[in-house]
Structure 1
Amino acid sequence: MAKLLYRVGRFAFEKRRLVVLLWVGLLAALAIGAASAPPAPPDTFSIPGTESQQAFDLLEQRFPGTKSDGAQARIVFVAPEGQQIGSDANKAVVERIVADVASGAQVKGVLDPFQTGAVSKNGSTAYATVSYGATSDNLTDATKTALTDAMHTGESAGVTVEIGGSALQAKPEMAGATEAIGIAIAAVVLMITFGAFAAAGLPLITALIGIGVGIAAIVAIGMSTTTTTLAMMLGLAVGIDYALFIVSRYRTERAEGYSAAEAAGRAVGTAGSAVVFAGLTVVIALAGLAVVGIPALTKMGLAAAGTVAVAVTIALTLLPALLGFFQNAVLPKASRKARGGRDNPPAHKAPAGKPGMGTRWARFVVRRPVAVLVIGLVGMGALALPMTSLELGMPGDEAQPTSTTQRRAYDALAEGFGPGFNGPLTVALDVKGVRDPRAAVEQATSTLAATKGVVSVSPAMFNQAGDAAMVTVVPATGPSTTATKDLVHTLRGEASDLQTATGATMLVTGTTAMNIDVSQKMADALLPYLAVVVGLAILLLMVVFRSIAVPIKAALGFLLSVGAAFGVIVAVFQWGWLADLIGVHQTGPVMSMMPIFLIGVVFGLAMDYEVFLVTRMREAFAHGETAHEAIVTGFRHSGRVVVAAAAIMIAVFAGFIGGGEPMIKMMGLGLAAAVFFDAFIVRMTLVPAVLALLGDKAWWLPEWLARILPNVDVEGESLNRHEAVEPERELESVRA
């Protein structure tokens, strides 16, 4: 592989104008395709194989026309202290607001609270439900302004008006600002790392082009914009990482005396090999999201995997082409001065300077591996302890800051109608083929009403054919509580007795029940997902490092990082530790999709750092250094690059902690913590300690396995055996 990639890098360098033109043409073509592509169909969230999904499918089939993909708003009215919302003055305010909202162009219908009986028992609170003919993303400013105007109208009349539902959900515009901040931080870190504007700029340029190609392709093929979120985040992360690694290797090769073209080829042949296998581990982690069995997650994973593949390809082709235009500009300032500003100066060896921080740290760890390993393991274990209390759920408006109208609407409804009102359960009854359908439904309704934890059961609504019915059950507890989860399981347990007695099938669904099913499905998928992803990665790393111990150690280190990150998330978002510091207003269960996302993203980045750092150790060991010397050499060449890459990612992810959405805060904190733990504690501390203790045994591979595994030559040994440094005059023909 090293020889093949060497030829790719050398070709891209020498034919740089052609390569750049091809990438720019591809980006332009995909951009035109994305701009002319028809709008993607609205996202539909389904969880095949769950009772909630079966019930939704049944209701959609038996109650045609009742399903609406449009946004909804719930306008909550609260009377002044000591007054009734139904008094003449307050009722007139409510009716005026309802009429104003109903006149909107996108409104399909409004349910007046006084006509539907949507008034609390104490008479202080009422609500009106508004249905729209468009999704929340497609609602016009005029439509949303009508809702905010309703709040002002009520305020001026003394009636508190709050808005819940999906209509006022903000579009994820914060991501764009966060990415801009992340790119700015990345530029600063790259500038500090390389000390040259060109060297700092090339990783950013190639990463942005990679994101552009990936996102344009996703939109052009008709995938929804929500699938681009993970692709954009990871495309930026790995795009910078991969380019940073190759540029760093190019600078090293130039310092060793190689010409610009030869250095570009060797950088792609050696560092590029590590990039290929690092990219493959990320692709495995993302494609592995299909194991969960949720189509939306599978699409997101595949879209992100495609963007990562684009980032790898750009790093191997476009980056060496751009190096051809900035052959000396990417080098350190002192080196450029020594070369007198010439494009292709005589090769020279870089003088050996005093050991850097990475070298000194590696020597410290190698001298005291046992103490470092014990302290690191104890610390990571302590951080991971809160993970034993991990609870998964789908936080809703109750997790929003109290400054939002959605949260205030939630609290007003909970106070006026009870905490369970915000999370009603929908029960679908299939009575097709039942001898007495109405008697069966009545028995089911009575059973539901008599169940402990149920506050009320609505009258059954039959479909036109009379072979299905639907009832609404209001629990006594809030939607994200353990008691409501237990109630759902209890109701489902009663279904078998009902079917035995009447022949009717009872299925429990609704947003609350679906959230419970999603959480359960995610929890059930964690171990299979880990087994598939980690197992495949161990096999891949075994090919890369030709070792048994190194891949297993890499996987165990990743599990430590994830465990510690989960511990931090539980401590902050469930227990409330330091919650005020980062703006967490309400503790509760961890978002059910968080563990899968965190595992997938962090696994890919962790294996990046592992491959970048340990391949230089493997390369030094293969070239004759002792096991301990190889550890120090690996840190001398790659330690600074790994630190820079990790610092960039931590800064990017930490930027999300400042967002208003609790789920965004959770993702930002979890990813930033996981990258910190993995890069600085696991890869930079525990890995060299373990390798120092293992010595030569770290690189042991049974002879029979060595014959089976392909030798991909990641360390570039074949390039050294066929080394041929070209005279500088041969580069005259390829000068810019």
Structure 2
Amino acid sequence: MKTTLLYRIGHANAAHPIRALIGFVAALGILLAASATLGGDTQEDWDVTGTPSQVGIDLLREHVPGAGNAFARIVVHSGDGTVPASEIDRLRDRLGETDHVATVSDARYSADRDTAVVTVGYDVPVTDRSIMGNADGLEKAVAPTIGDGLQVEMNGSVPETAAAPIKGHAEIIGITLALLIMVFAFGSVVAAGLPIVTAIAGLVAGSAGVMLLAGVMNVSPTAPMVASMVGLGVGIDYALLVVSRHVEFLRRGHDPVEAAARSVATAGRSATFAATTVLVSLMGLRLAGLPTYSSFGFATAIAVVAMLAATLVVVPALCRLAGRRIVPRKARRTLPATADGVARRMPLTARWAGRVGQRPVVAILLALIVLVTLAAPAAAMRTWPSDSGAQSTELTTRRAHDLLAAEFGPGTNAEVVVVAPSAETDRDQLRSALRDIARVPGVTAVAPVTESPDGAIEIAPITIGADPAAAATGDVLSGIRDRLPDGAILTGETPYYDDISHMLQRRLWLVIGFVVVASVILLTVLFRSVVVPVKAAAMNLLSVAAAYGVITAVFQWGWGLSLLGVDNPVAVSSWVPILVFAILFGLSMDYEVFLLSRIREDWLATGDARASVISGLAKTGRVITTAAAIMVAVFLSFATETDIVMKMLGLGMAVAVFLDATLVRMVLVPATMSLLGRVNWWLPAWLDRILPQVGLEPDLEAGSTEEPTRARRDAHMTPV
């Protein structure tokens, strides 16, 4: 038998398991030492180069102390009378002594003077490590005011980065649920624990790799959490796939070393190609145009690679050490199960595939109706970068947001400023334009124009009547922009969010196009078919669209929102659609590779299109179902985080994986493949000649790991 590289890796690690594990731990130790020495701290980068609002923010930073940088609003409320002016004066003095505070505004009082708001400006951007996620200075300054019996709440960029820290409970919840699911599915604690141990090892390696990445580029503080979420899911999946194939080879009568080597050569190869599809999707994040997305893509890619490495090294070593204990106790006495290692009773998934194949058109129509119905709300999706108004009422930022809206009007939470460079803007035109802007529906006030201390720019704050995240706000901002003279710029936090929202809406289609095309090309090479990759891309797009629809219905329309601990409907975060698409499309391709590799293996051996689908589902149905259940559990555990964006990501990805493993893999795939028959594997002769030869799931029992001969492939792939 000709051996592949993966077979040799699996055999070496299984033959010398202690040496393999010691080597992995040593490599992990070196990686951890390197990350401690050369790694960096996470650093957010929210600058959006090229947008008008960013140009305005840069002008403010350059010419006005405390403007354009981090800020905080301190809201003081008295429940039984007016807020004493003396108390506010003492508070302002304490705020002025806080690190990096450049300006403290005069207090603005509500009409009944039971509420006062003070705005604090900093001399550094909110992404500066010394203040991002750190509201200790503000909390120390307001503590005496709270002690005097007044309610004090805070929002603005600094408190919002510190209000909802990631708790880190999700990984523990996800791992616990994954262990329970696998024990139930496989009936063996050893078989269930092995993928968990592997995933934990990969998680540690991936975390160290992300810290090394932070030493050479800005990595968002949220990126390690997203990387852990995806890495944990795929790590358990890959290990589970290899362990399941290992058990299958044990049942065929192979000794543990040979079974481990063969499982890495087969399932390990599928995991490698599945990881490649995930990496391709993640690289699409770079096209989103934001540095934050690039850091998400690179950090998650590192986590996926770490999980794959752990799967190829740790799994075969642990399989060898586990020996035949990896098989449930009742089944050990009967190894091998049958002469060919295949259970005599046809699995439920195979029987299901047979029934679906008998009425493929009906099955396809029913699945499409469900998916399209779930996706329908996505047509009404409205996006906005999540602000304090979208968060839980448990957070001070949300309470400050509500107090400001109730006492001063919802537009008080919006920061809208016109900035006009003196050398580029005609002063008379600017003042005329501001008079017109004052009459724009939704604008409640335009402040008098002031000059920067150096006279380089003129500034005019604008008050709008709507909440920043309200649907009407975008129209108000457009009306203001249309009336600005040449050289003047609309900026501030709210126009900045508006620019981000519009940019990401445009970039989403670029990301989708790149990821879909790249994935189709990759799958065409892997499966040597034109129909299978296009069909897979279409099905994955359907499951992602359905996830968008569910996110919209839950968060924007409020259906079942209270179950997630959110008290009012909110716009879908602008950060979510691109991130969900890139991650989910790659993960969906994971299951596509797992399933189609076994279907194609049987197709090449028999040439029976319908029987190969049944056989492929029989061999992978339990693995894919279990893997999907684990992935759903992991993602839902992340929906328990306080931050609204993490809730959206967790729910959206859990829904998409569930739909992908049920309606797509168990209905659409067998139905369409049964309907199309041999056409599934059609490949033009000219394309067959130029595509590189890449083997998937080699036929080890036939004595070779090579692809079938050209004549054999052509015989199978001729459409009928």
TM-score above 0.5: yes
Find the aligned partners of 2:38 and 2:639 in 1 and give their Cα distance.
34
Check the 8 A contact 2:246/2:263 in 1, yes or no: yes
Aligned to 1:197: 189
CA, structure 1 residues 326+447, in 2 after alignment: closer, same or farther (shift >3 Å)?
same
Identity percentage over the alignment? Answer: 35
Q: Which residue of 2 aligns with 1:5?
A: 6
* Paired position in structure 1 for 2:635: 653
Distance 2:138 2:452 in 1: 33
Contact 2:103 2:120 in 1 (8 A): yes
Give the deviation of 1:39 after TM superposition.
Answer: 4.8
User: Greater CA deviation, 178-187 or 129-138?
Assistant: 129-138
Partner of 1:641: 623
1:144–1:168: 8 Å Cα contact kept in structure 2? no
What residue identity is the alignment partner of 1:161? V
Partner of 1:425: 416
Change over 3 Å in CA distance of 1:415–1:2 after alignment to 2:
farther
- C-alpha distance in 1 between matches for 2:135 and 2:390: 24
1:472 corresponds to: 461
Return the offset for 1:646: 0.6
Please tell me the residue identity of whatever aligns with 1:636.
A
Distance 2:577 2:167 in 1: 20
Q: What is the CA-CA distance between 1:117 and the residue it aligns to?
A: 4.8
Deviates more, 1:25-34 or 1:441-450: 441-450
> Which residue does the alignment assign to 2:243?
247
Residue type of the partner of 1:36? Answer: T
Letter in structure 2 aligned against 1:245: L
- CA displacement, residues 332-358 of structure 1 (integer Å, 9 cap, x when unaligned): 32343456xxxxx99975473422222
Which piece of structure 1 moves more, 254-263 or 103-112? 103-112
- The equivalent position to 1:207 in structure 2, one of 199, 214, 217, is 199
Instruction: Please say which of residues 101-110 and 39-48 is displaced more in the overlay.
Output: 101-110
Summarize deviations over 1:614-661 as a string: whole Å, max 9, x none: 211111111115212111111111000000111011111122333333
Asked if 2 retains the 8 angstrom alpha-carbon contact of 1:255 and 1:348, the reply is no
**TM-superposition CA deviations, 1:96-123 (whole Å, max 9, x none):** 5555x448764736736xxx25123443
| Alpha-carbon offset, residue 32 of structure 1 | 1.9
1:111 is matched with 104
Displacement after TM superposition at 1:275 (Å): 1.0
Which residue is equivalent to 1:676?
Answer: 658
Q: Give the direction of change, closer, same or farther, for the CA distance of 1:132–1:465 in structure 2 (3 Å limit).
A: closer
User: How much does 1:699 deviate?
Assistant: 1.6
Residue in 1 aligned with 2:384? 393
Q: For 1:125, give the aligned amino acid.
A: T
TM-superposed deviation, 1:443:
4.0
- Alignment of 1:336 onto 2:332: yes
Tell me which residue corresponds to 1:565.
Answer: 547
Report if aligned partners of 2:3, 2:705 keep a CA contact under 8 Å in 1.
no
Q: What is the CA–CA distance in structure 2 between the aligned matches of 1:301 and 1:712, rounded to whole Å? A: 26
Q: Could you tell me which residue of structure 1 aligns to residue 715 of structure 2?
A: none
Instruction: Quote the residue 1:137 is aligned against.
Output: 133
The more displaced of 270-279 and 456-465 is 456-465
Aligned equivalent of 2:435, options 446, 450, 460:
446
Alignment of 1:127 with 2:117, yes or no, is yes
- Counterpart of 1:392 in 2: which secondary structure? coil
Q: Is this contact kept in 2: 1:424–1:510, CA < 8 A?
A: yes
CA-to-partner distance for each residue in 1:292-338, whole Å, 9 max, x for gaps?
Answer: 11111112111211221222222223322332222322223234345
Deviation at 1:52, TM superposition (A): 1.4
Tell whether the 8 Å contact from 1:356 to 1:636 is kept in structure 2 after alignment: yes
Aligned amino acid, residue 473 of structure 1: I
**In structure 2, C-alpha distance between the alignment counterparts of 1:491 and 1:131, rounded to whole Å:** 25
Q: In the alignment, does 2:92 pair up with 1:91?
A: no
Q: How does 1:492-507 map to 2 (within 5 A)?
A: 492-495=481-484, 498-499=485-486, 505-507=487-489
Instruction: State whether residues 413 and 421 of structure 1, in contact with CA within 8 Å, keep that contact through their aligned partners in structure 2.
Output: yes
Which consecutive residues of structure 1, in runs of 5 or more, have no partner in the other structure? 340-344, 500-504, 725-736
Give the equivalent residue in structure 2 for 1:154.
Answer: 149
* Counterparts in 2 of 1:298 and 1:131: CA distance versus 1, 3 Å: same
8 Å Cα contact 2:190-2:322 kept in structure 1: yes
d(CA) in 1 for partners of 2:320, 2:79: 72
Task: Give the RMSD, CA atoms, in angstroms.
Answer: 2.7
CA contact (8 A) 1:548 1:699 kept: yes
Deviation at residue 552 of structure 1 after TM alignment: 1.1
Residue 681 of structure 1 deviates from its aligned partner by 0.8
User: Contact 1:398–1:586 at 8 Å: present in 2 too?
Assistant: no
Give the conservation status (yes or no) of the 8 Å contact 1:384–1:563.
yes
Give CA-to-partner distance per residue, 1:577-630, whole Å, 9 cap, x none.
222333331213211111111111111111111111121111111111521211
- Seen in structure 2, the aligned counterparts of structure 1 residues 97 and 358 have a Cα distance that, compared at 3 Å, is same
CA pair 17-679 structure 1, distance change in 2 beyond 3 A: same
Distance 2:121 2:24 in 1: 46
CA apart distance, 1:450: 4.0
**Range with bigger deviation, 294-303 or 457-466:** 457-466
The equivalent residue for 1:730 is none
The CA distance in 1 between the partners of 2:541 and 2:107, in whole Å, is: 54
CA shift digits 1:497-553 (9 cap, x unpaired): x22xxxxx1111111111111111111012111111011101111112111111111
- Please say which of residues 513-522 and 121-130 is displaced more in the overlay: 121-130
Please give the alpha-carbon distance, in whole angstroms, between the structure 2 residues aligned to 1:656 and 1:230: 9
| Post-superposition offset of 1:459 | 3.2
Matched, 1:711 2:693: yes
Match of 1:264 among 260, 263, 268: 260
Secondary structure in structure 2 of the residue aligned to 1:591: coil
Match of 1:729 in 2: none
Match of 2:717 in 1: none
Say if 1:74 and 1:129, in contact at 8 Å, map to a contact too: yes
Among residues 467, 486, 490, which one is paired with 2:479 in the alignment? 490
Matched, 1:320 2:316: yes
* Aligned residue type for 1:310: A
In the TM superposition, 1:577-592 aligns within 5 A as 577-592=559-574
SS of the equivalent of 1:581 reads helix
Distance 2:585 2:672 in 1: 20
**Counterparts of residues 375-414 of structure 1 (less than 5 Å):** 375-414=366-405
User: Which has the larger displacement, 485-494 or 589-598?
Assistant: 485-494
**Does the 8 Å CA contact 2:448/2:460 hold for their aligned counterparts?**
yes
Letter aligned with residue 320 of structure 2: G
Equivalent residues, number:
694
CA contact (8 A) 1:23 1:318 kept: yes
* Alpha-carbon separation, structure 1, partners of 2:342 and 2:207: 44
Give the residue type in structure 1 aligned to 2:481: R
Q: 2:357 aligns with which of 366, 370, 381?
A: 366
**Aligned with 2:444 (options 452, 455, 470):** 455
Q: Whole-Å Cα distance in 2 between the matches of residues 181 and 701 of structure 1? A: 45
Cα distance change, pair 320–682 in 1 and its aligned pair in 2 (3 A)? same
Seen in structure 2, the aligned counterparts of structure 1 residues 41 and 170 have a Cα distance that, compared at 3 Å, is closer
Assess, with a 3 A threshold, how the Cα gap between structure 1 residues 705 and 616 changes in structure 2: closer, same or farther: same
Residue number in structure 2 paired with 1:732: none
TM-score after normalising by structure 2: 0.90
1:168: how far off?
A: 6.7
Determine the C-alpha separation between the residues in 1 that align with 2:99 and 2:452. 28
The residue identity in structure 1 corresponding to 2:266 is: T
Using the TM superposition, name which of 129-138 and 370-379 deviates more.
129-138
Q: Which one-letter code corresponds to 1:530 in the other structure?
A: I
Instruction: Give the Å deviation of 1:130.
Output: 4.1
Q: For 1:646 and 1:383, how far apart are their aligned partners in 2? A: 19
| Letter of the structure 1 residue corresponding to residue 551 of structure 2 | I
* Unaligned stretches of 5+ residues in structure 2: 124-129, 707-720
Cα distance, 1:264 vs structure 2: 1.7
Cα distance in 1 for partners of 2:453, 2:387 equals 34
Cα distance, 1:562 vs structure 2: 1.2
Q: What residue number does 1:733 align with?
A: none
Aligned residue in 2 for 1:276: 272
Q: Distance in 2 between matches of 1:465 and 1:73?
A: 25
Q: Which moved further from structure 2: 420-429 or 448-457? A: 448-457
